[in-house]
């Protein structure tokens, strides 16, 4: 949170490079203990071959079956452990990467949200001409709560990985920016958007036409 955007960019690049190494870690820690790993995807050129009717179990002498079984169990156990270690490391790196990206986008979003709030607040002051302090205060609280809850929910989803950092952090801006542009447009047209008398006249006109 205390880093600058440039420092965050460098950190994100370093963490991304570390995340890209997961494939090599899987090959080194998980597949290397197996002899066949060096021949993976190398026998597809051979084509179908005739397989002996005897099973692999029949080819092993009875005296070696117990020791071979134990070796297989140990190797599978080690493979499972190594796989889980790689998975945990990848999850930790991914979580750290998301955190840095969240803070990177957050610094830009907070600056841009001030402009969005201005696009909402300035037209409201022009459109709401009556009501003293009460009506503007109610609208201000409503829009701030909308910004706060959408921003908090988006950031939480981005940190948990259920939403990309870009979408999660900029969610509140995506919601409020169209509202700000709409209110600015209405204020420039001298709209009576919050005039109760205008809605009452429209209702009377609608009733008269209906009759």
Tell me the pLDDT tens digit for each residue of 79-102. 888 888 888 888 888 889 999 999
18-22, 116-120, 176-180, 201-205 — which is least confidently predicted? 201-205
Which residues, 6+ apart, have CB-to-CB distance to 173 below 8 Å?
A: 109, 112, 113, 116
Give this prediction's pTM. Answer: 0.66
What was the pLDDT predicted at 193? 59
Q: Measured at the alpha carbon of residue 86, what is the angle toward residues 83 and 90, in degrees to the nearest 5?
A: 140
CA distance 162 to 165: 9
Per-residue pLDDT tens digits for 152-173: 999 999 888 888 899 999 999 9
Q: Is the dihedral of CA 86, 87, 90, 96 positive or negative?
A: negative
Per-residue pLDDT tens digits for 33-79: 777 666 666 655 666 666 555 677 777 888 888 888 888 888 888 88
């Amino acid at each position: 949170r205390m880093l600058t955007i440039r420092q965050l960019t460098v950190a994100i690049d370093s963490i991304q490079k570390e995340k890209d190494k997961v494939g090599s870690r899987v090959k080194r820690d998980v597949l290397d203990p197996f002899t066949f790993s060096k021949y993976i995807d190398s026998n597809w050129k051979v084509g179908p071959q005739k397989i002996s009717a005897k099973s692999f179990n029949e080819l092993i002498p009875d005296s070696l079956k117990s020791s071979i079984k134990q070796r297989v169990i140990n190797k599978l156990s080690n493979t499972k452990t190594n796989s889980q270690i790689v998975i945990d490391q990848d999850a930790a790196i991914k979580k750290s990467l998301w955190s840095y990206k969240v803070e990177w986008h957050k610094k830009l979003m907070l600056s841009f949200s001030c402009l969005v709030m201005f696009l909402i607040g300035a037209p409201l002051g022009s459109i709401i001409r009556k009501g003293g302090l009460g009506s503007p205060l109610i609208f201000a609280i409503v829009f701030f709560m909308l910004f706060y809850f959408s921003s908090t929910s988006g950031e939480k989803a981005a940190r948990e990985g259920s939403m990309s950092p870009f979408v999660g952090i900029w969610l509140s801006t995506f919601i409020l920016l169209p509202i700000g542009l709409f209110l600015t447009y209405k204020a420039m047209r001298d709209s009576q958007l919050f005039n109760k008398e205008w809605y009452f006249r429209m209702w009377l006109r609608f009733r008269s036409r209906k009759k």
